[in-house]
Chain A
Amino acid sequence: MALVCDYYEFGSPFDDSDADVILRSRPAPASATLEEIRATATHFRVHKLFLIKASSVFERLLCETTTSQSPNSDNDLRIRCNTYDDLPVFCLYEDRDTLHSLLTAIYPTDVVYPRTLEAMMKTYAAARKYRMFSALNLFRTYCTGVAPVVTTGNALRAYLFAFNEGLKEEALEAARLTLSLPQTFETYGKDLSDASGPALLALWRHRRASLQAVEMGVQACILEVGDLRGWKTRSPHNKNCSCTQMGSRPREQFLIFTQRLAADFSLMSFSSFIEIMSSQGVFKCASCKAQMWLDLFRLFGCLERHVNDRIEQARSPFVLCGMSCRGADGLIVTVAPRAALAFRPLTTSR
């Protein structure tokens, strides 16, 4: 039926008779097939009140309406205005599914969360573009905490999507995930084809700075733990052992792990830590030869804390510069400061 209509009507719940504005999604390309008809320009009949409350962009556009019935356009945001059925229409750049997700987040209805990486990035970008920050936070909470969409496996694609959409926070988080994989052409493969030069440069610099921070964090941790005496815990089998001699092997195993970690950040997991620490069998007390127990969980936590602290410190100079590079539209204000890391170096001259 949609084939014979100018526009596809989305229907419930965005078909109220008292709707006072229409949001029109981006039409499908001319080559669209029947299967793609869902992507044809779709009308969402909505209420100005919801848009105004949820989005300062729509608030501006709707409240500054001129004498004509048609609302204002915004070329920078690629919003064109029209009329249809005697209602004002905002012709938007976003596709049907993106607008659907966005509207469910601001209406009292079941939220339709993006399920794929591409859908997630498009929705994030739209939410930021229209300054719908409550909706953005809602999606972020779900897509990062409840049902994570970005994984180590698609981290590069996520990074490139985020970079291309101007989503700094997501770009940085995805860049961090890429640290768990080697930065090689074999690893990246054809995903590289979607990358711009600046995106690759930012990613390379991010990795370089992060790995330097990891090394510094490792050194600080080694200093703190010393010969691991403080991480010895009472043995469940020999509760009377109170020997103070540690022997050298626990520290040697710890150093082996930290050396490997500095070369391969993907080892930064408790399971890898346990595996390497116990690879040479159990530790034995240097004095009584009884099995010695170390609080490996706490020890790993110490290492993790030092590494993360150093990474955060490495971000500090980027933060200042990133925040000073605020765009004309002011959207960067809401970006977490650490998000500037991946971008700042590009603004400096060589």
Chain B
Amino acid sequence: MLQLHRELLSLFDHSQQVADSRPSDEAPRKFGKPFDRRDADLIIRSCDQVDFHVHKAVLGTASVVFEDMFTAPGPSPHEKGQEDPVLSLTEDSKTLHRLLTTIYPVDPSVPETPEDALFLLATCQKYEMDSTAKRIRSLLKERTPPLFTALDSFRAYGIASRYHLKEEALLAARLTLEHPMNFNSCGEDLRFISGADLFRLWGYHTECTKAVRNCINQMKRTSGESFPYSSRSCSGTVNIGKYNTDELQSVPRWWHGYFLGKVADRPSPKTITDRLAFERALVAHRGASGCPACLQPDETRVDNTICAAFEAKLTAAIDLVGVVTPLGPIVFSELKGPPGSQRRCLYMGLVS
């Protein structure tokens, strides 16, 4: 295989990790406090030659893989009269530091970039550190502003999918709904997304668009089995003063066309129910049709009741759409924890 081709393909890998994974000629150096205690019985060495003095008991408790390693039969280096055994890992010192601060009783070092966060979670997955992964996710949820945003959602989706992080892949896929699903939207982030994952994401977008349109089309099913009268006579069949925001079944006809138009290629509940855009649409509607009955654009119910209720309705519809991953499909309801964990998805910039 051509050297250049290898370089190209390496771009698909977690670039920093790939670069750092190469054996280094540097002499190992100690990380220092708090991973330099004398009572440590193991040294783990990062790929960039940084030594962390740790305790097998702590590592074994946190990780099934390390526990199995430590309890496997065979002579230990201590028995051979050597010093603390050294375990060379493929992760870099930054990742190992974050991992260790999460399992030791010290201040945790929280990832500062989406890539770092996903790689840290992937490392937890690799060493089967489920509790640690939960704690990291919890720390990420508490982070303000959220680490993951719609801005880098395609990249996050690609990396999460590659590391088989189903939860993060789905949450990132949800954020991509705020963008049109095309190659220009992915842009430079294409390098992080395999074609297979991209194809699955397109399928997810398509299904979400269908779900959202179905939800909006349900607006048509009023008690009169037809549209309310057109916008010219909103007040004819719809009691504008009492929009049924619980069911959103009794609404002016123009709402249907407006929201359907907003779906276009961005089936995100957030963008469809954008408050400012809705207010502008109200103004345009009243100006164009002379409708005296619809809400005033500045009525607080536009923000607090109608858009919020409609967003919740659309969100519930999208929650039922799953994203397919190499490890199987996953739907949003699987991510929602028990009562009391409503902030489950906040760290991805989503409201559950």
Find out whether the CB atom of B190 lies under 8 angstroms from the CB atom of A197.
yes
B181 adjacent to chain A (CB < 8 Å): yes
Q: On chain A, which size bracket covers the interface?
A: 20 to 34
- Residues in A with CB closer than 8 Å to B186 are 200, 204
- Residues in B with CB closer than 8 Å to A346 are 7-8, 11, 191
Q: Which residue of A lies closest to B192 (CB)?
A: A197
| B173 CB, min distance to chain A CBs, angstroms | 14
Known contacts A166-B5, A325-B4, A347-B7; A197/B199 CB under 8 A: no
B314 adjacent to chain A (CB < 8 Å): no
Q: On chain B, which size bracket covers the interface?
A: 20 to 34
| B16 CB, min distance to chain A CBs, angstroms | 12
For the complex, what is the distance from the CA of A202 to the CA of B12, rounded to whole Å? 12
| A162 CB, min distance to chain B CBs, angstroms | 11
Q: Which residue of A lies closest to B12 (CB)?
A: A197
B341 adjacent to chain A (CB < 8 Å): no
Q: Which residue of A lies closest to B162 (CB)?
A: A197
**9-residue interface stretch from A32-40, A238-246, A252-260, A327-335:** A327-335
- Residues in A with CB closer than 8 Å to B190 are 197, 200-201, 204
A267 adjacent to chain B (CB < 8 Å): no
A199 adjacent to chain B (CB < 8 Å): yes
Interface string of B164-191 (1 = CB under 8 A from A): 0000000000000000011110111011
B196 adjacent to chain A (CB < 8 Å): yes
- Residues in B with CB closer than 8 Å to A204 are 183-184, 186-187, 190
Q: Which residue of A lies closest to B193 (CB)?
A: A197
- Residues in A with CB closer than 8 Å to B12 are 196-198
Within 8 A of B (CB), among A190-213: 190-202, 204
For the complex, what is the distance from the CA of A204 to the CA of B185, rounded to whole Å? 11
| A155 CB, min distance to chain B CBs, angstroms | 15
- Residues in B with CB closer than 8 Å to A160 are 195
A-B contact count (CB 8 A): 89
- Residues in B with CB closer than 8 Å to A185 are 181-182, 198-199, 202
Interface string of B75-102 (1 = CB under 8 A from A): 0000000000000000000000000000
Known contacts A184-B182, A204-B183; A193/B191 CB under 8 A: no
| B3 CB, min distance to chain A CBs, angstroms | 4
Q: Which residue of B lies closest to A204 (CB)?
A: B183
A234 adjacent to chain B (CB < 8 Å): no
Find out whether the CB atom of A192 lies under 8 angstroms from the CB atom of B196.
yes
B9 adjacent to chain A (CB < 8 Å): yes
For the complex, what is the distance from the CA of A197 to the CA of B201, rounded to whole Å? 14
B288 adjacent to chain A (CB < 8 Å): no
Find out whether the CB atom of A329 lies under 8 angstroms from the CB atom of B3.
yes
- Residues in A with CB closer than 8 Å to B158 are 197
B106 adjacent to chain A (CB < 8 Å): no
Residues of B bordering A, CB below 8 Å: 1-5, 7-9, 11-12, 158, 181-184, 186-188, 190-196, 198-199, 202
14 new A-B contacts at CB < 8 Å, known A198-B9, A204-B186, A329-B3: A160-B195, A166-B1, A166-B4, A183-B182, A185-B198, A189-B199, A192-B199, A193-B195, A195-B196, A197-B194, A204-B184, A328-B3, A343-B8, A346-B8
| 7 CB-based A-B contacts, threshold 8 Å | A166-B4, A183-B183, A194-B195, A201-B188, A201-B191, A204-B187, A346-B7
